[in-house]
Amino acid sequence: MKKHQLQALVAVAEHGSIRRAANAVALSQTALTKALREMELDLQAVLLQRSPQGVRLTPVGLQLLHHAKLILAEMDEARASVRHMLGLGDPPVKVAVTPTFSLLCLAETVARFRTRFSKAPLSIRDAFLSQTLPMLRDGTIDLAITAVMPEVLGSDLSFESVGTLEITLAGRLDALGPGPHHLSTLAQAAPWLLDSSTGGTSEVVRQWLAEHGVAELPQVIECPSSMASLVLSTQGQAIVPTPRAILSVPWLEHFHREIKVAEPLPQLPIGIVVRKGHRLDGPAEWFAECARLELRQML
């Protein structure tokens, strides 16, 4: 397999058509089709399914796509590391962070990072857990700073806990009074904002509810968006599980209101996730260290 073949496969997966994929990688449609066909012959496997609606990957193609993204990311990282050794620039740092980390200490982390690597390319994504882990696995990002249940990560990812978040509920349910309220009452009071991730805040909250006799919520809005959660919990009658620490962020105090709960609040560790066996280069390791220092100070 060659680099341009892997790039062709990734482009087809992302764009869903030969024409758009060819434009994305600056090849003619003929050249891109040839690259894919040569890879199929090499592997003796069909990678693409064509239909009037476009092109999509077969199960074999999807399996190869995971490796293709990781190989291309490793190649880019190797090139950047060599350039760094030759004094031709710092390698880029690609990070995904939970919205909680962004609110608590992202600005301070970046400022500390820049004291040592003032010109290193830095890419930061604000992502929920369901989006973060796939990006880690395919090499789109170098590390993630997130809150997660470590037991769900699998053998390919490594988690370093830096602190613990207490999870509370926020919203503007004025009609209920000051509380504290039992979860059985809150379950019926308004829609809850959750996401489908199996190891993050929403999963901890689902387990918490079940432990206290709430087997199912009547109304749930699937909401893996920090901005949508903020709007619905502050301007609409919705309940959002949120780390208690962010309710003390000065500009959020005017919007978020904690809902007092009678039951003990659940907790979730926050820390750094990397691919197991993947060694971070200098700038990425320094960013991780800056994040550790700021999180420990904040928590």
Percent residues over pLDDT 90 in the chain: 43
Contacts of 83 (CB under 8 A, 6+ apart): 89, 91
- What's the chain's length in residues? 299
Q: Which two tokens stand for residue 271?
A: 């820390």
Q: Which two tokens stand for residue 119?
A: 């010109």
Tens of pLDDT, residues 41-59: 988 999 988 887 788 899 9
Tokens 């609040």 belong to 265
* Torsion of the alpha carbons at 72, 77, 78 and 84, rounded to the nearest 10: 150
Tens of pLDDT, residues 256-273: 788 999 999 999 999 999
Listed range (174-178, 197-201, 237-241) with the worst mean pLDDT: 174-178
- Closest-CA residue to 64 (of 141, 2, 10, 142): 10
- Closest-CA residue to 185 (of 226, 214, 148, 157): 214
Assess whether pLDDT exceeds 80 at residue 284: yes
SS3 168: strand
**Bridge partner residues of 93 (DSSP):** 122
Can you tell me the distance from the alpha carbon of 1 to that of 199, in angstroms, rounded to the nearest whole number? 35
Percent residues over pLDDT 70 in the chain: 97
Listed range (4-8, 146-150, 235-239) with the worst mean pLDDT: 235-239
Tens of pLDDT, residues 123-182: 999 888 888 988 898 888 999 999 999 999 989 999 999 999 999 998 887 777 888 999
**224 and 197 Cβ atoms separated by less than 8 Å:** yes
